Amino acid sequence: MNLLVSDLLLQLPLAAVPVDARMGLGEDIAYQSVGIVVVIGSLATIALILVGLNRILGAIGLLAPAGGAALRKLPPVATTGELADLAPDLRAAIAAAVYTTLGPDHHIIEIQPKLSPQMLAWSMEGRRQIFQSHRVR
């Protein structure tokens, strides 16, 4: 017996009636109600599957670590010198970049705002290309 779930759904009383090209309003509403029940039911089932998956992975320790919890393990370091002089939004941007690329187990010890001549050349080249791609007014 090779029955698919959709075949079973089609055996439901409302959907079992073939959809006529000119159904009555009541039949239209019944047909659409079954459709909505199918969609909501299936997405709710996926939601339940995801909750179950989360629980199972959590129980066997395969869940992604929560970022906040990992951060709390490390004591904050007082910002001094050049780091303290840096604008807070810049500090936040750099910290976010470090967190994203290196992970939560890293502290920023030092920030060197001065660029080496090679790096400066790269940024100048980038700037030149950006300006070149715009119309000069």
Partner 1 sequence: MINDLITFFGLTGFIHITWQMAVMWGVVLVLLYLAVYKGFEPLLLVPIAFGALLANLPTAGLVNEPSPPVLSPVAGEVVEWRVLVGQEISEGEVLGIVRSSDPGRPGTTELRATGSGKITMLHALPMDRISEGQLLATVYNHEPGGLFYYIGRGIKWEIFPPLIFLGVGALTDFGPLIGRPIVLLLGAAAQVGVAATFIGAMALGFGSGESASIAIIGGADGPTAIFLSAKLAPHLLPAIAVAAYSYMALVPLLQPPIMRALTTTRERKIRMKSLRPVGKLEKLCFALLVTVFCILLVPAAASLIGMLMLGNFLRECAVTERLVKSAQNEIINIVTIFLGTSVGITMTGERFLRGETLMIIGLGVVAFGTATAGGVIMAKILNLFVKEKINPLIGSAGVSAVPMAARVSQIEGMRADPNNHLLMHAMGPNVAGVIGTAIIAGYYIATIALR
Binding residues (CB under 8 A) for partner 1: these are 4-6, 9-10, 15, 18-23, 25, 28-29, 31-33, 35-36, 38-40, 42-51, 53-54, 57, 62-67
CB of 45 to partner 1, least distance (A): 7
Judged by beta carbon, residue 63 or residue 120, the one nearer partner 1 is 63
CB of 54 to partner 1, least distance (A): 7
* E strand map for 4-70: none
User: Which CB sits closer to partner 1, 9 or 94?
Assistant: 9
What six digits make up the tokens of 20?
A: 């006529």
Closer to partner 1 by Cβ: residue 40 or 95: 40
